[in-house]
Amino acid sequence: MKTRRGFSWLAVLLALGWVSLPAAARPNVVLILADDLGAHDLGCDGSDLHETPHLDRLAREGVRFTQAYAASTVCSPTRASLLTGKHPARLRITIWSEGSLAGPQNRRLLQAASRHDLPHAETTIAKHLQAAGYLTALVGKWHLGGAGHFPETHGFDVNIGGTHWGAPSTFFWPYRGGFGAAGELRYVPHLEFGAAGEYLTDRLTDEALRVIDRAAADRRPFFLYLAHHAPHTPIEAKPADVAHFEAKLRPGLNHRNATYAAMIKSLDDSVGRVLARLAERGLERETIVVFASDNGGYLGTDRRQDVPVTTNAPLRSGKGSLYEGGLRVPLMVRWPGVTPAGRNCAEPVVLTDLFRTIAGAAGLAEIAGAPGDGLDLAPLLRDPEARLGRETIFFHYPHYYHAQPSTPASSVRDGDWKLIEYFEDGRLELFHLRDDPGETRDRATMERARAAAMRAKLVAWRESVGAALPTPNPNFNPAKK
């Protein structure tokens, strides 16, 4: 169809709407991202309290990844990375947006500089899909910069609720109120005219269904990025659901927070409603559905509660840490005609990979094939036993975190080995993840040569991406709280 001069009659006819590609050539993409959902928070991932029948069904109908990593242990860096296909360290977005503005002042290190806004020099997957004719919509959490960098400036036709804030003041309508010690007013835009008792996860789902309906009516391919706030703090859920899970509590359970369980139920109901609407509109066969979380489960307690939000056991630690509990997340993909049903894939993957994977699935071969930090997961989606041939995965969090607590660090996973380097004192930790998935036995002193070789790889990678590092704090006073 292309002439030697690169002129394409097909492109002209497509642009004029006189011909259309077969549906499979431009599948819809629904990316549902949970916020702070831990690696073992779903029924299909082994939770003993939470109930997730719709997500369990999605797993049975597609491929479920059992070693999926967020790009970072906190929100904004993972979100920036999955939308751009670049490592957070390369983007210089390594902490959540608000956290970039001011770090702790009396710690041994001053945290590395991190961007508050996703630069416009970066091209998101939404922008690529928009250029390819997709209707593109963000519903829910954005968290990638101020008004000049909202979703509308990064390739999204529709923005419902996206702001620079990382969490709502409340999950109940009108979704506004004071937040934090300073009582800053937070609100969720575009969700006016709700009703008393209306719940945010339900309302965002209503808005997502409107996007599907609109795209179906226009017979237009669409990219729906449904970025739920659930189950991030504030830990609030519908009272009847909370009562249901309170009645299930008994001694010895791994998961013990009934309100958190109820939040996850609403999240699961949302997935069920989206899947049902795709089926009702006859779009099921031509829509790729991806479900993931942006970082590991949060181990702290929320206001008014004394029971921890969740646990990522048997994985160690949680959000804010470079141990597996902070990094590993649920990931499942249903791609009709491509993914086999009900298969697990144990190959380590990173959410950065979603950029190229979605580009490839949408027929944007040049984007999927361009250099980047992620890989196209299509080989694994076709055959979960396949291998990517990737040896190393890197993590970089040059910041402190309050809940674990954790100190600035980098990490590399190399095959089954994982090294963590702590910047305060240069200390190394080495774990063998296959033998010791809970990272309980540090082998750095027993395997000095291996640890040194892995550290050399980590240093070389940091230099290759221009990773920002923390610096000594000249005003640090260990006697002062």
Sign of CA dihedral 455, 461, 464, 467: negative
Q: How far is the CB of 300 from Ca ion (least distance, A)?
A: 13
Nearer to Ca ion, 266 or 287 (CB): 266
Q: How far is the CB of 82 from Ca ion (least distance, A)?
A: 12
Distance CA 139, CA 124 (A): 16
Distance CA 115, CA 313 (A): 32
Distance CA 295, CA 35 (A): 7
Q: How far is the CB of 117 from Ca ion (least distance, A)?
A: 18
The contact set with Ca ion (CB under 5 A) reads: 35-36, 75, 294-295
Nearest Cα to 454, choosing from 364, 385, 394? 394
Residue positions annotated with a catalytic role: 75, 143
In contact, 316 and 325? CB cutoff 8 Å: yes
Nearer to Ca ion, 399 or 455 (CB): 399
Mark residue 33 as left, alpha or beta (left: phi above 0; alpha: psi -120 to 50; beta: remaining). Answer: beta
Residue with nearest beta carbon to Ca ion: 75
Task: List Cα–Cα distances, 195 to 131, 200, 203, 236, 464, in angstroms.
Answer: 37, 11, 10, 17, 52
Distance CA 474, CA 271 (A): 50
Q: How far is the CB of 413 from Ca ion (least distance, A)?
A: 21
Distance CA 114, CA 91 (A): 9
| DSSP string for residues in 390-415 | --EEEEEE-S-BTTTTB-SEEEEEET
Nearer to Ca ion, 36 or 241 (CB): 36
Nearest Cα to 135, choosing from 55, 276, 280, 26? 26
Q: How far is the CB of 327 from Ca ion (least distance, A)?
A: 12
Residues in a beta bridge with 401: 406
Beta-strand pair 177-179/184-186: antiparallel
Nearer to Ca ion, 170 or 295 (CB): 295
Q: How far is the CB of 30 from Ca ion (least distance, A)?
A: 19
* 270 contact partners, CB below 8 Å, separation of at least 6: 32, 201, 202, 204, 205, 208, 226, 228
Q: How far is the CB of 262 from Ca ion (least distance, A)?
A: 19
Distance CA 324, CA 437 (A): 8
Nearer to Ca ion, 77 or 155 (CB): 77
Give 371: exposed, middle or buried? Use CB within 10 Å, 0-12, 13-18, 19+: exposed
Nearer to Ca ion, 294 or 439 (CB): 294
In contact, 261 and 255? CB cutoff 8 Å: yes
Nearer to Ca ion, 78 or 339 (CB): 78
Nearer to Ca ion, 311 or 339 (CB): 311
Output the six-digit token pair for 44: 């299909």
Q: Please count the other Cβ atoms lying within 10 Å of the Cβ belonging to residue 64.
A: 25
Distance CA 129, CA 221 (A): 9
154 three-class SS: helix
Q: How far is the CB of 188 from Ca ion (least distance, A)?
A: 16
| DSSP string for residues in 22-70 | -GGGS-EEEEEEESS--TT-SGGGT-SS---HHHHHHHHHSEEESSEE-
Nearer to Ca ion, 295 or 312 (CB): 295
Q: How far is the CB of 104 from Ca ion (least distance, A)?
A: 20
